[in-house]
Structure 1
């Protein structure tokens, strides 16, 4: 079973130090997502429909809303992974064009060679999170240096201001944007995909095709992303029990909620909360 060693969260998003031996379902994030190996066995992630290695020399780079999964090989030892989920608004403080980090195409390729600087910053951040889980300001400073190094190495960042001006024109069908907003407002699991297709005024098949072409993921994956982000926010910021959070989000049983959370985050909501509180 995977273990959360440390979790830091703030305006920057989330940073999780995970000791992984548990597969993750196909999912996505609304963040710029960077996966860096710290120690243990080399491993791999599926991004889109291709497999990419995660080693001391290679990082895995996932664009916002890009489907990906982790399939653990039970014959391999565990891998300690530094997983970054970085908010576009936080990156804008460094360069306005870095708001593009939440859009498709931010990372040109899902894999890239790790420079000595990126490797060193990765190890420094992981070590400091372990030694001083409460040192949030220091962790954010290290994360800043690490993300600047990652962006400068793996993205065409000099072209981002032009792409930002074009983002609204490329943002997809207005009916899908409206339905996506409804999905984000839907805090329980009551509304089915047929309901959203009717809201868009489209047949189910046309709705599925248009949604994926506009957003980048199927509507079911999008709904799961929204529910997972709501779950993470509740687990981190509410004092309610896991059972009550499960009820808030419309799961029939707390065990269903725990399984959903573990399949997306690698660990249970209770462990996620307990480890995150070490940084309080």
Structure 2
């Protein structure tokens, strides 16, 4: 029979050696998740109940839980409590090919859905004007989507394109690149910049993880064969869901 969360905490009761108590409690929960003794979706008891069962202070419990939330092992939902976080299958993404998110997920046989956060024509920001080379009075098309694979939110994409390239953002179906391909504006090369960032509250809620957890911020500037910049995209990827891989070779002598 599968152990309950209470069983895990009882195993730490009365143990006062082997490092700080909050670390022992943290390790006990993490080991239980890793070995499948508790599973995604299981709810933790209240802070008070954990403290009583494990014979530790509520401060110790709070510290252990905060560390596990920051690591993405637990997730806290306002008004509902603390739960074992969903386990997301790692996606390995090559940095050597210019492909769309839709193409990447289809190639892996994953079921892709998107939740539109924004799409429309706007007055460009100074950054968009410079990067996209917009003239006076030109509009910018902005699209923002939450990208979901097999039911798990993986990334938030926010793309900017000249309105002359994408005059009707509502016409996009599943794939932006498929739409650009139709009009002869699909990019042929891109420059990407990747940085580690901690998620803010709004993006964390969209990705169903705790605020402050590690994520990957990717800025992509994409070019047409003519050298014109056609797309500027800022994306946030879940740090627990993505591995980016690049092939490196020695230069020819």
- TM-score bracket, shorter-length normalisation: under 0.3
Rg larger for: 2
TM-score, normalized by length of structure 2?
Answer: 0.24
> Whose strand fraction is larger, Structure 1's or Structure 2's?
2
TM-score w.r.t. the length of structure 1 is 0.23
The structure with higher relative contact order (CA 8 Å, sep 6+) is 1
